[in-house]
Amino acid sequence: MSVALPRIDAIRDAAARIAPHAVVTPVMRNARLDALAGAQLFFKCENLQRGGAFKFRGACNAVWSLSDDEAARGVVTHSSGNHGNALAIAASTRGIPAHVVVPEGAVKAKLEAIEQAGAVLHRCAPNTPAREAAAAEVQRQTGADLVHPYADTRVMAGQGTLVLELLNQAGDLDIIVTPVGGGGLAAGCAIAAHALDSSIQMIAAEPEGADDAAQSLAQGSRIAGITANTICDGLRTLIGESNFEALQQHGTQVVTVSDDEVVAAMKTLWRELKLVIEPSSATVFAAVLKRPEQFAGKRVGLVLTGGNVDLEALPF
């Protein structure tokens, strides 16, 4: 499914649209982490966003982009967790129904949060065709608007708003590192960053066990599928078509990291920043530690994407 990439105007519109509802998340610095990395690190704390993840930005932009008639029929999505939770909360800000199709095996803490936010859960098998079919069935029955987790112009624009904030808070940056899964964040952030400063190097951190973006960039075309095997539950999806094109257009480099590197980075971030972040968020710091020569002396923005973890099932 190919969708239009948002332009910077759409990202600025999204920023205004979500402002009444979203948190301007803080940017944290840490002297010990700077010393470890040999760089100046600016951590954009989207784990402190509503719903505990950056996903609220895109979902909120989509919900508030609807006409009143469209909104009244509700919204639907399929999501392993954070996007579903975000859409449920975003729908609640407008008082409209939300339906979330969740694959079996999703993180329990995330499912509970989605239900708490008032959405209707629909279970399905843990693969992309099953998710899309279940969402289509809900659409057919309710007329709800599909808000895709990443292959959606409104969602990409919403995610890009965090870079507008980050550059405003941190000043000029040489590099911005985001995780990459479906690529809504990586695409939105690249578009926003380069509209403001075309010299910023965009880097996408990807788990080795779901390295379709890295493989796709290496072969110059999007690979058809992966069997994801990684602790990073938010990054197991195949990158979207348009999202992949955005990575190519913006010269985004992918750095792959092992699950062991992710867990080590996660522990270091918890210990030093005192923040609860989920494994997907730790990929960005793991990437910096893996390529010290690339980051040495640079001003680096790192997007900590979310903090929704099962506290009873921590990987350490």
Residues that bind a second copy (CB under 8 A): 26, 28, 32, 47-48, 52, 109, 116, 267, 270-271, 273-277, 307, 311-312, 314, 316
In this complex, which beta carbon is closest to a second copy, that of residue 223 or of residue 264?
264
Cα(110)–Cα(104) distance, integer angstroms:
12
In this complex, which beta carbon is closest to a second copy, that of residue 195 or of residue 275?
275
Q: Compute the least distance from the CB of residue 276 to a second copy, in Å.
A: 4
Cα(146)–Cα(155) distance, integer angstroms:
11
Instruction: Strands of 46-115 (E only): list them.
Output: 75-78, 98-103
58 closest CA partner among 4, 121, 11: 11
For 200, list phi and psi in degrees, rounded to 5.
-70, 130
Q: Compute the least distance from the CB of residue 156 to a second copy, in Å.
A: 24
End-to-end CA distance of the chain: 38
Residues 6+ apart with CB under 8 A from 17: 60, 61, 64, 65
In this complex, which beta carbon is closest to a second copy, that of residue 202 or of residue 286?
286
SS3 306: strand
Residues 6+ apart with CB under 8 A from 265: 257, 282, 283, 285, 286, 289
Q: Compute the least distance from the CB of residue 25 to a second copy, in Å.
A: 10
In this complex, which beta carbon is closest to a second copy, that of residue 140 or of residue 274?
274
In this complex, which beta carbon is closest to a second copy, that of residue 98 or of residue 113?
113
Q: Compute the least distance from the CB of residue 48 to a second copy, in Å.
A: 6
Q: Compute the least distance from the CB of residue 59 to a second copy, in Å.
A: 17
The identity of residue 105, as a single letter, is G
